[in-house]
Amino acid sequence: MSQSHAVVVGASMAGLMAARVLTDHFDQVTVVERDHLPAGAAGRKGVPQAFHAHTLLIRGKLILEELFPGLSADLTWHGAVESDSSSDLIWHQHGVYKMRTPSGLVATSISRPLLEWRVREALLREPKVRLLEGHRVTGLVATPSRDRVVGVEVEPVDASVPVDATLLQADLVVEAGGRGTRAPQWLEELGYGPVPVTEIRTNVAYSSRYFRLAGPAPDFNMCILMDQPPKTRVGVLFKVEGDRWLLTLQTMLDDTAPKDEEAMIAFARSLPGPQIARFLEQAVPDSDIQAHRTPTNLRRHYEQMARFPEGLVVLGDACTSFNPRYGQGMTTAALGVVALRECLDAAGEGVPAAGAPGFALGFQKALARAIALPWQASTGEDFAFPQVVGRRAPGSGLINWFMRRIIRLTAVDRDALVGFLKVVHLLQPPTALLRPRLLWRVFFG
Ligand SMILES: Cc1cc2nc3c(=O)[nH]c(=O)nc-3n(C[C@H](O)[C@H](O)[C@H](O)COP(=O)(O)OP(=O)(O)OC[C@H]3O[C@@H](n4cnc5c(N)ncnc54)[C@H](O)[C@@H]3O)c2cc1C
């Protein structure tokens, strides 16, 4: 009997998590990655964003632990910093500092290269998984009728790599190639027409640097200082593994992120609180400064396509790439992987199995439902900036007004604070804040 085989394009967070879920349903899973992957916690060309602060929301952390039992302990062993999301955090937003009180919501600060490395190692312990690194997927292979994807074409990225294969047959291909995915072109080439797209221009600019402390430790593990719209600056300072601190300075639209030390200090001084500027006075640089730009929030609506080939699903940033400042990308990729697992688990009870007619589009629709809330939250925040152009959803003005009131309450009201943090960490929907006591305080408090 032939063995079932799934191929995953991309060995970043979405691809690694998807591969783990596929091992429950396929005899073999091959993850194809164009980069040569580092043996430890190091950056690499295919994920340039990894140098910058990556918040792992608590919902994402819980899903990762479910997929890879023991991962949280492993991360802590490798130096990840566990912090209470309130008492260990200084957070200035919409003109107020949030209360600092134990919230019981424990977040993990870690550099993105370390997180990805430990997740990759956990995945590679699965005997069904094969990693084909240093290989680029160059196209899809489809049946002559083009209604089903049956594999991918691959090529080595450089001549030094021996050619393992040029064609990988697959019962299911998971495209997790990130924001720069070629899935839209591949689908057009197969005759499926253009993928509908929503794009919101925010032109987010990041600038980051690692530091070590030369003076006494501050009384926080994390500090977030956010300008109030229409001003666009944000400073994020995290303690990460190895007694290092990661500073990421962000801005949007026509403002620029600092490129050198002097500009970094001036930017820190322009933030709505003194903590990061003070930190810089007693910190020693431990890396160069790196910059990154994300021009738009980009959502590709595969779920809206009239036709979609079987044997292919698209998830992670290849489907939706958020404004990174809200820290939702990895967690939303995890939600997409949970949706994939649910579709695969449900197969057989009147629901199509992977590869059967209806599975692929059914998954893309389930993914769209899973993404809807984070997308609404992040674009809603973006539309709080009057300079951001785009179609505002009906009622978004009222929602933003309500959330601003809740944010002001987080300075003085523990209930509002914990409720708000749960929404931010995608542990509950914003509607959970519509409780009588909070509503009373929002309107009359
Ligand atoms: C500046 C910045 C800051 C961010 N901060 C946060 C944050 O705080 N919290 C958070 O949760 N998220 C954050 N994100 C988002 C996060 O990085 C992504 O959502 C996350 O990495 C999941 O993406 P992905 O796996 O879908 O794609 P990517 O991480 O982009 O990875 C795609 C992978 O596919 C490989 N690949 C691409 N094409 C091919 C091909 N044809 N063949 C083989 N391999 C291929 C690439 O080399 C890469 O390894 C941030 C993003 C940016 C840009």
Q: What is the fold of 5-56+115-196+301-381?
A: FAD/NAD(P)-binding domain (3.50.50)
| pLDDT of 21 strictly over 80 | yes
Give me the mean pLDDT over the 31-49 stretch.
96
Q: pTM score, two decimals?
A: 0.96
pLDDT digits (tens, 9 = 90+) for 124-156: 999 999 999 999 999 999 999 999 999 999 999
Strands (E), 383-427: none
Banded pLDDT at 49 (limits 50, 70, 90): very high
CATH architecture observed for domain 203-295: 2-Layer Sandwich (3.30)
Dist. CA 86 → ligand 1 center (Å): 28
Average per-residue pLDDT for the chain: 94
pLDDT digits (tens, 9 = 90+) for 63-78: 999 999 999 999 999 9
In a 3-state reduction of DSSP, which class is residue 175? strand
Answer whether 5-56+115-196+301-381 and 203-295 agree in fold: no
CA–CA separation, 114 and 409 (whole Å): 36
Atom 41 (ligand 1) nearest CA: 137
pLDDT digits (tens, 9 = 90+) for 193-236: 999 999 999 999 999 999 999 888 999 999 999 999 999 999 99
Q: Which of 7, 8, 13 to mutate to test the pocket of ligand 1 (most atoms within 8 A of CB)?
A: 13
In ligand 1, the atom with minimum distance to the C-alpha of 13 is 25
| pLDDT of 1 strictly over 70 | no
Dist. CA 351 → ligand 1 center (Å): 31
In ligand 1, the atom with minimum distance to the C-alpha of 330 is 11
Model pLDDT, residue 3: 79
For residues 355 and 112, the model is more confident at: 112
Non-local CB neighbours of 284 within 8 Å, separated by 6+ positions:
211, 212, 213, 214
Q: In terms of DSSP bridges, do strands 290-300 and 197-213 run parallel, antiparallel, or are they unpaired?
A: antiparallel
Could you tell me if 135 and 157 are in contact, meaning their C-beta atoms sit under 8 angstroms apart? yes
Q: Where are the alpha helices (H) located in 347-358, listed in sequence order? A: none
In ligand 1, the atom with minimum distance to the C-alpha of 181 is 38
Model pLDDT, residue 444: 85
In ligand 1, the atom with minimum distance to the C-alpha of 135 is 43
| pLDDT of 351 strictly over 70 | no
Atom 50 (ligand 1) nearest CA: 324
Dist. CA 10 → ligand 1 center (Å): 9
Q: Which of 31, 37, 47 to mutate to test the pocket of ligand 1 (most atoms within 8 A of CB)?
A: 47
User: In the chain, what are the domain boundaries?
Assistant: 5-56+115-196+301-381, 203-295, 392-444
Residue 198 tokens read as 């929503």
Q: Which of 330, 367, 381 to mutate to test the pocket of ligand 1 (most atoms within 8 A of CB)?
A: 330
For residues 317 and 166, the model is more confident at: 317
In ligand 1, the atom with minimum distance to the C-alpha of 35 is 47
| pLDDT of 36 strictly over 80 | yes
Dist. CA 22 → ligand 1 center (Å): 20
Q: In terms of DSSP bridges, do strands 135-142 and 149-156 run parallel, antiparallel, or are they unpaired?
A: antiparallel
> Pocket around ligand 1: residues whose beta carbon is below 6 Å from it?
9-15, 32-35, 46-47, 49, 52-55, 136-137, 176-179, 206, 292, 294, 316-318, 324, 327-331, 333
pLDDT digits (tens, 9 = 90+) for 353-378: 777 789 999 999 999 999 999 999 89
pLDDT exceeding 70 applies to what percent of the chain? Answer: 98
pLDDT exceeding 90 applies to what percent of the chain? Answer: 87
| pLDDT of 33 strictly over 80 | yes
In ligand 1, the atom with minimum distance to the C-alpha of 292 is 1
Dist. CA 82 → ligand 1 center (Å): 24
In ligand 1, the atom with minimum distance to the C-alpha of 48 is 53
pLDDT digits (tens, 9 = 90+) for 242-265: 999 999 999 999 999 999 999 999
pLDDT digits (tens, 9 = 90+) for 393-444: 888 888 889 999 999 999 999 999 999 999 999 999 999 999 999 999 998 8
Atom 29 (ligand 1) nearest CA: 12
Nearest to 381 by CA among 11, 93, 150, 69: 93
Model pLDDT, residue 164: 60
Q: Where are the alpha helices (H) located in 236-358, listed in sequence order? A: 261-269, 275-281, 329-346
Non-local CB neighbours of 15 within 8 Å, separated by 6+ positions:
8, 9, 31, 33, 174, 176, 177, 316
In ligand 1, the atom with minimum distance to the C-alpha of 54 is 8
Q: Which amino acid is at 293?
A: R
